[in-house]
Each structure stands twice: as C-alpha cells, then as structure tokens.
Amino acid sequence: MQKIQNSKRIIAIVLGLSLLMSSFLLGLYLGSNNNPEINKAASVDFGPFWKVWNLINEKYPNGRTADQDKVWGAISGLTSALKDPYTVFFPPQEAKLFKDEIAGSFGGAGMEVGVKDKVLTVISPLKGSPAAKAGIKSGDKILKIDDTGTADLNIDKAISLIRGVVGTKVKLTLAREGDKEPRIITIVRETVSIPTIDTELRKDGIFVISLYNFSENSASLLRDALREFIKSGSSKLVLDLRGNPGGYLDAAIDMASWFLPMGSPVVKEDFGDKQDMQIHRSKGYDIFNKNLKMVILVDGGSASASEILAGALSEHGIAKLVGEKTYGKGSVQELINVTPETSLKITIAKWLTPNGVSISEKGIEPDVKVVPEKSPSVASVPEGKNKVEAKDAQLDKAIEILNK
C-alpha cells in the first residue's frame, strides 16, 4: 500500500514538473515572439553570469544579499559596459534621490560637473554660488568628495554626494592645472539660486550680454536683452557664454533663430543607426541686418546648449568665437522608468554642429584663442584687503575685434 502511495506521489511530482516546464517553455516562446530582443539574447552565453550568481550565493561570507539587489547591480554593470558616464541605472533609493534633486529638494555647491578624460571635472561654478565663492574653477578635477574617491563613481552618484542638506559642508579634493599637490576646498551647501542673464552698455558703445544658463525662461530673457540692445543704437554685440553649462535645447534653437533665416540648420541630432538624423532648424526671427558685428566669448566651462548656439552662429558667419575650446558635452539623455521604483537615464543621440562637427568628440574651437591671464582668486585674498581685479583678456580681445 505504501509503495502505491509513494508511486502516486512520484507521478504527481513528475506531472507537476512537466506542467511547470511546459508553462515555462510556452511563456518563453510567447515572450520571444512578442519581444525580439529575447531572440537576439538567445545567441549570448549567459552561463558565466549564472555561475557567478551561484558562486556568490555559495561562497560570499558577509551575509546574503537580496536577489533583487543583485539584479539591480547586474543592470548597473550592464550600463557601465557602455563606457558612457551619462548612461546610468537608478535603483529605488537612487531613483528617488534623483527625482528629489530635479525637483530642487536639496541644497548644493552650485556647480556643473561632467566627466573629462575619464575624470570627474568641474564644467563651471555658477555665478554667485557657494562653489564660486569658495574658489572652485572650471577645469578643476575632483579626486575625492569628502572621503569617497571619484575614480569609480558615475556622474549622478557624484552629484548626489556633492548635494545635501542646506547648511552642511562638503569637502572636495581637487587637482588643478599648475598645482603640484591636490588642494582641499570645503563648501557650505546652500539653496542655489541660478542667475540667467546680465546686460551692459559700455561707454565705448559695445553692448554686452552675459548668459549664465539655458533655463526654461532664458530665451524670453534674451529676447528682452536684444530689444534693449536695439534700443541702445549700438551695432556691436558681445554674447558672453563663458562658464555657461547649457540647459534646454529648445532655448538654444530659439536664441539662434533671432540671428538666422528660416530653415537654417542650428544643430543635428545623430541617433547612430537607430533612426535617421534629425536636423533642428531656425524659426527665422532673423531680426538683424548686415550691420551687426558680433563676438561670442567661450571657454572650457561653455557646454551643451552653449556649444550648440556658439557653433551655429559661428558656422553661419554671424559671430566670431573668442576664448578657449569649449567643454565638449554634446550628448542627449532620456530618463525612462524601468519599474515604478527604478529608472534608466540613457544617452540616445549626439549633437553635431550644422557642418557636422561632433560636439562631444571635439568641442568647439574658437576663431581667436585667448588664454586668460592668471591672477589671485577672490577667495585667496585675506579679509580686509583690497580685492585684486583680474584683467579680462578675452573680453579685451572681443572689443578689439569689434572696434576694427
């Protein structure tokens, strides 16, 4: 009797396993038909992955890591294989922090950072920010954030470490060109108010517009500044994009449209072999006559939308570029929800100038290269002493060109 019961159990288990396997194979078949990527993955050997998965479970001594956390880690490794610092997977906690930071829930140092030659680098400190007041400069290489080395950090993780509660401090270990030893700068985090634009009509009749970012309202602010320029009666314009880390693409296209005829290419969006190249064109406001003389100031802190605008106006012969080579941030990212709690920020395209120059690979070279003269930084001058005003060799060269 016992043997008969055992036989029935075995038959039931076998039938159950058969049904389970049939369901799995049916699901795999249906899934592969609905998702062609599974068919592509079928040619990849996942054996090493599962071997390492099992070895971790069997041998790793410091407690058991949740399987779901290992999945998040595997996806992060998948994105890092692209060797693109701007493509990042956010597990649940990091995804929440990223969304909070976008919403402005945290204080910070007030600077844009990027990856240059595989090193975390300051693109630009924002005007009047804690970083600027502490003496941070464009081109500073960030070696440590507090006690965390940056060599293996993706850019978004680095940003999350720099940002924090208003009033707290963050210590940055920096390598600066010309320094023999790294320098340590401590910054008190603040709620950063980002300036957008300043205007000045100089005594010599040259009108200067300083644009600090490409925010949502920057295009309308530039329109107002250009109206002020026209009312001044001047025909000589300096657009200062030094230290401008960029921002909205639409703002750059709208700004270029004030100077270019309808349909002129402003920037090309290259998706590789994923889809056809998209050309973003001028809306054709084109309000200036041929009497306009224009110089755009750029430097290593001019990035992204700054490079798009400078490249377009230079290649169409509207403006001369004076200063230093721009940063070279010419990639487009899209934020995609992977699950309700996780997200992927992935590079989907690269920017090219109207003439096809890759901004990411080459940056924008100025027509006239001018290296700024070195002078003591404001932060290095003791309290109570006269501040040393730096001579602005780049602006001086722009004025010289406009007055010729």
pLDDT tens for 129-152 read: 999 999 999 999 999 999 999 998
- Of the residues 329, 331, 343, 397, which is catalytic? 329
Mean residue pLDDT across the chain: 85
Query: Which of 3.40.50.700, 3.30.930.10, 1.10.10.10, 3.90.226.10 is the CATH number of 197-403?
Result: 3.90.226.10
Beta strands in 151-270 (DSSP E): 169-175, 183-188, 197-201, 207-211, 236-240, 265-270
Q: Evaluate if residue 75 carries a pLDDT over 60.
A: yes
* % pLDDT > 90, the chain: 60
* Rounded Cα–Cα distance for residues 369 and 285 (Å): 30
247 burial level (CB within 10 Å; 0-12, 13-18, 19+): buried
Single out the catalytic residue among 94, 112, 307, 315: 315
Identify the pLDDT of residue 103: 56
Q: Mean of the pLDDT values across residues 1-28?
A: 43
Spell out the domain ranges in the chain.
Answer: 2-84, 95-188, 197-403
- Rounded to an integer, the average pLDDT of 175-182 is 94
Query: With left for phi above 0 and alpha for psi between -120 and 50, is residue 309 left, alpha or beta?
Result: alpha
DSSP letters of 171-203?
Answer: EEEEE-TT-SS-EEEEEE-B-PPPP-EEEEE-T
Q: pLDDT tens digit string along 381-402?
A: 333 333 334 589 999 999 999 9
**Cα(251)–Cα(261) distance, rounded to whole angstroms?**
17
Q: Decide if pLDDT at 214 tops 70.
A: yes
What does the pLDDT read at residue 38?
54
* Phi, psi for 195 (deg, rounded to 5): -70, 155
User: Minimal CA–CA distance to 123: which of 240, 298, 268?
Assistant: 298
Looking at residue 191, its pLDDT comes to: 86
Helical pair 92-102 and 155-162, crossing angle rounded to 10 deg? 60
The answer to whether 304 is a known catalytic residue is yes
**Which is it for the CA torsion 357, 360, 362, 365, positive or negative?**
positive
pLDDT at 257 over 50: yes
Q: Where are the alpha helices (DSSP H) in 60-112?
A: 67-80, 92-102
Q: What is the pLDDT of residues 227-247, one digit of tens each?
A: 999 999 999 999 999 999 988
Strands 111-116 and 342-352: unpaired
Beta-bridge partner residues of 297 = 240, 322
CATH superfamily of 95-188: PDZ domain (2.30.42.10)
Q: In the annotation, is 32 catalytic?
A: no
Out of 138, 234, 235, 304, pick the active-site residue.
304
pLDDT at residue number 100: 65
Grouping H, G, I as helix, E, B as strand and the rest as coil, residue 403 is helix
- pLDDT at 200 (0 to 100): 96
Question: pTM here?
Answer: 0.74
CB atoms under 10 Å from CB of 178, counted, come to 5
Sorting pLDDT into bands at 50, 70 and 90, what band is 271?
very high
The mean-pLDDT minimum among 66-70, 154-158, 362-366 falls in 154-158
* Residue 108 to residue 120: CA distance in whole angstroms: 17
pLDDT higher for 1 or 363? 363
User: Which tokens sit at 332?
Assistant: 């487009």
Whether residue 362 has pLDDT greater than 70: yes
Residue 329 among the catalytic residues: yes
Spatial separation of the C-alpha atoms in residues 130 and 283, rounded to whole Å: 38
Q: What is the C-alpha end-to-end distance of the chain, expressed in Å?
A: 111
- Please tell me which residue, 336 or 332, carries the higher pLDDT value: 336
Q: Which of these ranges, 188-197, 307-316, 357-366, has the smallest mean pLDDT? A: 188-197
